[in-house]
């Protein structure tokens, strides 16, 4: 990687080379006679101009590399957007198809000749379904906007165990109704963590909700916190739910990937969580065994450092 | 051969397939619907169909795999693929496997009904050629 | 250090009065209103650092109020409050920009702590905007 700042080196040469020429010529003149004295500056001049042109070449190459790097990032971004757009289109086309059909069916009900008792009931039902599908689309687009909006985290000192406990208590009420226990294993010596509290709450709530869904009824969710070598805190949410298959494991952070039936869940939750954790300077990982359960690992730095876009 | 096309709708979106069934029925077609490829195969064992409307993205077996198997087990049946997401590669694959048509959702019902009719007519014409030919 | 301005939105008059009084005792500038609609008209003329919002009210419901609040006064941090804990509404609320979520009956000390944290966030947010 070229990290030479050419202008400084260039200026250095402007002074160093003539000094070198002088320093070399004098003894040559003394010992080597006039021929040597004439040759020495010529050789030095040649060196000087060679070095100068080399430096400008280096600076050109560096600029090109920067440009290419930017292009690569742009291309990758465009590819990601392309993929996302295809996903969005697909997700929205299904509700649209249903809406189109309901409208056709409703129009059919309006036909005078066919007016029956059941017509208005069918009409009502179709309109209802249209509303449901519109809501589904709305959820998709809103989640997308959220996903796209890069919110810079606002950093505050957070008691992680307390934050998690608040979310756990929220989930617990519904969980106990389904015979799901939530076990806490909080590390007692966690320092306050400098991170964005509402963003982290979103992640925890999402993970707890997914865990509940994965279990269905009768199971356990375990929440653990601990300090990782020096400057990271790790939160683990484990469940005894259905687990994730090996082939799905690599896809779960993809936007729109979902194993839920159509209309239930947009598949954006985990990808948003992943985005948040990355923005918080952390790492998001998963381990799972089909039929046994899943564990999500969220590691965040104790002291937030804004990440440069590489 | 029946007087009207017998259509089997295969799609995991329940509301989509049930309303489509109703819309096709009032257009003088015999329509039935199932929620998965597995159910489609059991249904085709029980009753015969002229045209299958097949969704590409389904859990367990996807539309393309299902298409291959349908053409093997019921080569006379015409298959129309319905998808929410167009892909040139998938389209080519489908035509190669013997799919009749590839339609993007949402598809206006008139257009869909028209395609079903022509697929059915093609099936009749082919069957006729067979009986005349052999 | 200015007093934190808190707006409490709850349709239970007894609860409202109690919370307002107790927050005032903690040196906060607290105001109470009984509905989402009242809250939205109030914020036309007054600005608040933190809002405590009951999610289950007749008339305009919690999520609608939250959305409108964040739209009209995006810097006001909102703490959702409800006696009926629903993960769904919690997640929705967080998505729509709520700062935190509390279940009734709320421990008052905890509430004060959350209000302080929300107030701190508001301040940080303002600072960031002023810097840019």
Residues of chain A with pLDDT under 70: 1-11, 13-14, 17, 21, 24-25, 27-33, 73, 76-77, 80-81, 83, 112-115, 146-151, 262-268, 307-310
Question: Contact A104/B109, CB-based, under 8 Å?
Answer: yes
**Pairs of CB atoms within 8 A across A/C:** 55
pLDDT tens for A118-143 read: 788 888 999 999 999 998 888 888 77
**β-sheet with C77-82: strand ranges across:** C29-33, C5-9, C50-54, C77-82, C100-103
Question: Contact A156/C117, CB-based, under 8 Å?
Answer: yes
Is A156-301 the same fold as A86-148?
Answer: no
Closest residue by Cα to residue B116 from B19, B29, B16, B13: B29
ipTM of the complex: 0.89
Residues in A closer than 8 angstroms to C103, CB to CB, are 169-170, 173
Q: List the domain boundaries for chain A.
A: 86-148, 156-301
Percent above pLDDT 90 for chain C: 65
Task: Return the pLDDT at B94.
Answer: 82
Task: Return the pLDDT at A272.
Answer: 85
Number of domains in chain C: 1
Altogether, the residues listed in chain C come to a count of 132
Query: Which chains lie within 8 Å of chain B at 3 or more CB pairs, if any?
Result: A
Task: Return the pLDDT at A2.
Answer: 46
pTM for the structure as a whole: 0.64
pLDDT tens for C45-99 read: 999 999 999 998 888 888 889 999 998 898 999 999 988 768 888 888 888 889 9
Is residue B120 within 8 Å of B2, Cβ to Cβ? no
Question: Contact B85/A101, CB-based, under 8 Å?
Answer: no
Crossing angle, helix A6-110 and helix B109-133, to 10 degrees? 80
Question: Contact A93/B22, CB-based, under 8 Å?
Answer: no
Question: Contact A102/B23, CB-based, under 8 Å?
Answer: no
Domain that holds residue C127: 5-131
Q: Do chains C and B touch (3 or more CB pairs under 8 A)?
A: no
Calpha distance A205→C124 (Å, rounded): 24
| Full DSSP string of A5-71 | -HHHHHHHHHHHHHHHHHHHHHHHHHHHHHHHHHHHHHHHHHHHHHHHHHHHHHHHHHHHHHHHHHH
Is residue A271 within 8 Å of A251, Cβ to Cβ? no
Class level of CATH domain A156-301: alpha beta
pLDDT tens for B63-113 read: 778 888 999 999 999 999 988 776 777 778 888 888 888 888 889 999 999
Residue of A nearest to C82 (CA): A170
Q: How many CB atoms lie within 10 A of CB A78?
A: 10
Calpha distance A62→B9 (Å, rounded): 59
Q: What is the CATH number of the domain that holds C12?
A: 3.40.50.2300
Residues linked to residue A294 through DSSP beta bridges, in sequence order: A239, A288
Fold topology of A86-148: Helix Hairpins (1.10.287)
Task: Return the pLDDT at A309.
Answer: 44
Q: Is the pLDDT of residue B119 over 90?
A: yes
Task: Return the pLDDT at C122.
Answer: 93
**H or E stretch covering A74:** helix A6-110
């Amino acid at each position: 990687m070229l990290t030479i700042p050419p202008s400084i080196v260039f200026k250095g040469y402007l002074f160093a080379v003539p000094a070198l020429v002088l320093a070399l010529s004098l003894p040559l003149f003394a010992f080597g006679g006039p021929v040597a004295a004439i040759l020495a500056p010529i050789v030095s001049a040649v060196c000087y101009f060679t070095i100068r042109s080399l430096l400008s070449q280096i600076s050109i190459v560096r600029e090109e590399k920067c440009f290419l790097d930017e292009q690569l990032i742009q291309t990758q971004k465009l590819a990601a957007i392309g993929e996302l757009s295809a996903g969005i289109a697909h997700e929205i086309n299904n509700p649209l198809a249903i809406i189109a059909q309901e409208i056709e069916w409703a129009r059919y009900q309006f036909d005078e000749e066919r007016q029956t008792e059941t017509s208005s009931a069918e009409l009502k039902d179709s309109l209802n379904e249209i509303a449901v599908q519109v809501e589904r689309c709305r959820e998709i687009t809103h989640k997308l906007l959220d996903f796209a909006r890069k919110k810079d985290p606002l950093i505050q000192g957070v008691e992680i165990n307390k934050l998690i406990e608040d979310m756990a208590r929220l989930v617990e009420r519904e969980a106990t109704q389904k015979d799901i226990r939530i076990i806490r294993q909080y590390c007692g010596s966690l320092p306050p963590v400098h991170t964005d509290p509402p963003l982290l709450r979103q992640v925890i709530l999402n993970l707890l909700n997914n865990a509940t869904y994965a279990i269905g009824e009768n199971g356990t969710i375990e929440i653990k916190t601990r300090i990782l070598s020096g400057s990271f805190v790790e939160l683990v949410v484990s469940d005894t739910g259905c687990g994730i298959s090996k082939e799905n494991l690599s896809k779960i952070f993809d936007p729109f990937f979902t194993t839920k039936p159509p209309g239930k869940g947009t598949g954006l939750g985990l990808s948003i969580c992943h985005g948040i954790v990355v923005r918080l300077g952390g790492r998001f990982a998963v381990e799972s065994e089909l039929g046994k359960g899943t564990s999500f690992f969220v590691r965040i730095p104790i002291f937030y450092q804004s990440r440069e876009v590489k | 051969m029946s007087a009207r096309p017998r259509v089997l709708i295969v799609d995991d979106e329940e509301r989509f397939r049930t309303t489509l069934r109703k819309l096709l029925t009032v257009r003088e077609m015999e329509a039935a619907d199932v929620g998965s490829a597995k159910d489609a195969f059991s249904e085709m064992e029980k009753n015969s169909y002229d045209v299958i409307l097949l969704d590409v993205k389904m859990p367990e077996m996807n539309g393309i795999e299902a298409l291959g198997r349908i053409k093997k087990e019921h080569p006379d049946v015409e298959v129309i693929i319905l998808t929410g997401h167009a892909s040139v590669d998938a389209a080519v694959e489908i035509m190669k496997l013997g799919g009749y048509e590839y339609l993007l959702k949402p598809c206006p019902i008139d257009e869909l009904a028209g395609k079903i009719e022509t697929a059915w007519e093609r099936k009749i014409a082919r069957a006729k050629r067979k009986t005349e030919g052999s | 250090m200015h007093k934190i301005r808190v707006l409490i939105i709850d349709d239970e008059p007894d609860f409202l009065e109690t919370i307002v009084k107790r927050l005032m005792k903690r040196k906060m500038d607290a105001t109470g209103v009984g509905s989402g609609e009242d809250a939205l008209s109030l914020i036309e003329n007054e600005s608040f650092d933190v809002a405590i919002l009951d999610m289950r009210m007749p008339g305009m419901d919690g999520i609608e109020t939250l959305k409108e609040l964040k739209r009209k006064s995006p810097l006001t941090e909102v703490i959702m409050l409800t006696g009926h804990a629903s993960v769904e509404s919690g997640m929705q609320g967080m998505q729509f920009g709520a700062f935190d979520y509390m279940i009734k009956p709320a421990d008052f000390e905890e509430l004060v702590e959350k209000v302080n944290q929300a107030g701190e966030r508001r301040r940080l947010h303002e600072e960031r905007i002023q810097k840019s």
